[in-house]
């Protein structure tokens, strides 16, 4: 990534833990966040989802977190990892239930320069959803329904906190009034070119570009069909358009940027092994997962919403660390 991809900004830094935890701002933000998780559970339970408790460690974890380092732990003499995301377990869980979700902690040692992006933490959480036999269109509807429900409930129940935080609830009217926008990655690249920002149709959209697009919109929108190579091996490739994935990001409006990534998943053993090899990794690393896949897993689609990112957008916060009680900025020694 080029330096500008991260666009360092002057953002407020977390104060000491006592000042942070006793601040009326933090307390308002955490009440908004509490409403977000309650609303997520309410919506997903109503749609027939089973909440599972997420794993924290495992022999392997999601390799798709580009640029971030994984954390090793010693598990009785075996090298285990802290979860960067629970994607492999989400696919496995569908052996038990067809609709599952976690609210899961993730640890990613993000590059040092991301400490000043206002959108990266080294420890954060995802609302992590997976649905057996779902298509991408169906999972987009779940993501839209979930985010709309969350925003509607927070606006109704936490208007005092939003007002204290200076968040004008009128910002949510477009979101509540209509469906989220949808565009392909190809279209996003063309829009960026028209805005004077060079964007290859074959590459990931960097943060500066994403913010440009985000600032053009007044309600969240989906970008679909990212090019292969930009995402993990578990995002399904479109058989009719090789090189293109059946995946998506959900982008918040007003410049807040990415809230969520998701996809139809690859569930075919040979395809998964080929995709792992294409990324230069040794399939043997994924032993337990590949054993399951070989014996058969369900096709699925799912997504993960960054909880602190969603809180930042809903509460209108300057920086994502404000949405965490014990914020860990990349590289910053903190409790
Ligand atoms: P990813 O699978 O990398 O797209 O991560 C899923 C979601 O988690 C993203 O859409 C973000 O909302 C959130 N996320 C990813 N990395 C971070 C981070 N370092 N700090 C805070 N949120 C993150
Ligand atoms: Mg993403």
Residue nearest to atom 12 of ligand 1 (CA): 306
**Does residue 317 sit within a domain?**
yes
**Ligand 1 atom with least separation from CA of 249:** 10
- Cα 259 to Cα 245: distance, rounded to the nearest angstrom: 19
In a domain, 158, yes or no: yes
Alpha helices in 82-235 (DSSP H): 87-93, 136-157, 159-164, 173-177, 185-194, 207-215
For tokens 């809230």, the residue is 259
Distance from the alpha carbon of residue 258 to the mean position of ligand 2, in angstroms: 7
- ∠24-28-121 over CA atoms, to 5°? 100
Closest-lying ligand 1 atom to the alpha carbon of residue 330: 19
Measured in Å, residue 261 CA sits from the centre of ligand 1 at 8
> Which of 190, 228, 195, 226 is closest to 212 using CA atoms?
195
Q: How far apart are the first and last CA of the chain?
A: 30
In ligand 1, the atom with minimum distance to the C-alpha of 114 is: 19
CA of 11 to the centre of ligand 2 (A): 22
Nearest C-alpha to atom 18 of ligand 1 is from which residue? 120
Residues whose CB falls within 8 Å of the CB of residue 268, separated by 6 or more in sequence, listed in order: none
Taking only the tens of pLDDT, the chain with its 335 residues reads: 333 455 556 678 899 999 999 999 999 999 999 999 999 999 999 999 999 999 999 999 999 777 899 999 999 999 999 999 999 999 999 999 999 999 999 999 999 999 999 999 999 999 999 999 999 999 999 999 999 999 999 999 999 999 999 999 999 999 999 999 999 999 999 999 999 999 888 889 988 999 999 999 999 999 999 999 879 999 999 999 999 999 999 999 999 999 999 999 999 999 999 999 999 999 999 999 999 999 999 999 999 999 999 999 999 999 999 999 999 999 999 99
Matching residue, tokens 């399951």: 292
Pocket, ligand 1, Cβ cutoff 6 A: 65, 85, 108, 110, 120-121, 124, 126, 258-261, 304, 306, 308-309, 320
**Closest by CA position to 159, among listed 314, 322, 325, 307:** 314
CA of 118 to the centre of ligand 2 (A): 16
Tell me, yes or no, whether 7 lies in a domain.
Answer: no
Q: Which residues of 112-145 are buried (b: 16+ CB within 10 A; e: fewer)?
A: ebbbbbbbbbbbbbbbbbbbbebebeebbebbbe
CB atoms near residue 222 (< 10 Å): 20
305 Cα–ligand 2 center, Å: 9
- Which residues are paired to 126 by β-bridges? 104, 306
Domain count, the chain: 1
What is the Å distance from ligand 1's center to 138 Cα?
A: 22
Q: Which ligand is nearest to the CA of 226?
A: 2
pLDDT at 13: 86
Q: What order of strands is seen across the sheet that includes strand 123-132?
A: 50-51, 99-107, 123-132, 300-306, 257-264, 247-252, 221-224, 181-184
Distance 260 CA to ligand 1 centre (A): 7
Domain residues for 200?
17-323
Ligand 1 pocket mutation, candidates 124, 150, 245, criterion most atoms within 8 A of CB = 124
pLDDT at position 3: 35
Q: Does residue 329 fall inside a structural domain?
A: no
CATH of the domain at 37: 3.30.930.10
Residue 237 DSSP SS3? strand
Ligand 1 atom nearest to 258, measured from its CA: 10
How distant, in Å, are the alpha carbons of 74, 141, 208, 328 from that of 121? 24, 28, 18, 6
Q: Whose CA is nearest to atom 22 of ligand 1?
A: 306
Does pTM surpass 0.85? yes
Residue 12 domain flag: no
Whether residue 333 is contained in a domain is answered as no
DSSP structural state of residue 165: T
pLDDT of residue 53: 98
| 8 located within any domain | no
Q: Where are the alpha helices (DSSP H) in 268-323?
A: 269-278, 287-295, 307-315
């Amino acid at each position: 990534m080029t330096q500008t991809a991260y666009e360092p900004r002057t953002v407020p830094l977390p104060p000491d833990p006592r000042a942070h935890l006793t601040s009326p701002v933090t307390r308002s933000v955490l009440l908004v966040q509490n409403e977000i998780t309650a609303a997520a559970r309410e919506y997903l339970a109503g749609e027939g989802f089973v909440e599972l408790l997420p794993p924290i460690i495992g022999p392997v974890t999601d390799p798709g977190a580009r640029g971030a380092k994984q954390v090793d732990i010693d598990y009785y003499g075996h090298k285990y990892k802290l979860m960067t995301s629970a994607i492999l377990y989400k696919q496995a869980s569908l052996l038990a239930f067809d609709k599952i979700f976690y609210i899961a902690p993730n640890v990613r040692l993000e590059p040092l320069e991301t400490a000043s992006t206002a959108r990266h933490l080294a420890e954060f959480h995802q609302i992590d959803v997976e649905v057996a036999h779902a298509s991408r269109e169906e999972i987009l509807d779940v993501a839209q329904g979930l985010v709309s429900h969350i925003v509607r409930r927070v606006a109704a129940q936490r208007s005092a906190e939003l007002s204290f935080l200076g968040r004008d609830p009128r910002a949510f009217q477009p979101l509540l009034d209509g469906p989220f926008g949808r565009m392909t990655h190809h279209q996003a690249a063309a829009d960026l070119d028209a805005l004077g920002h060079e964007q290859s149709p074959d590459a990931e959209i960097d943060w500066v570009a994403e913010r440009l697009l985000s600032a053009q919109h007044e309600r969240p929108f989906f970008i679909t069909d990212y090019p292969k190579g930009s995402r993990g091996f578990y995002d399904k490739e479109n058989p009719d358009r090789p090189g293109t994935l059946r995946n998506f990001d959900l982008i918040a409006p007003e410049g807040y940027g990415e809230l969520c990534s998701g996809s139809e998943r690859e569930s075919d053993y040979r395809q998964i092994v080929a995709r792992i090899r294409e990324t230069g990794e040794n399939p043997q690393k994924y032993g337990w997962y590949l054993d399951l896949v070989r014996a058969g897993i369900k096709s699925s689609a799912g997504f993960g919403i960054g909880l602190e990112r969603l809180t930042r957008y809903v509460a209108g916060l300057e920086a994502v660390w404000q949405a965490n009680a014990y914020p860990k900025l990349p590289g910053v020694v903190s409790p």
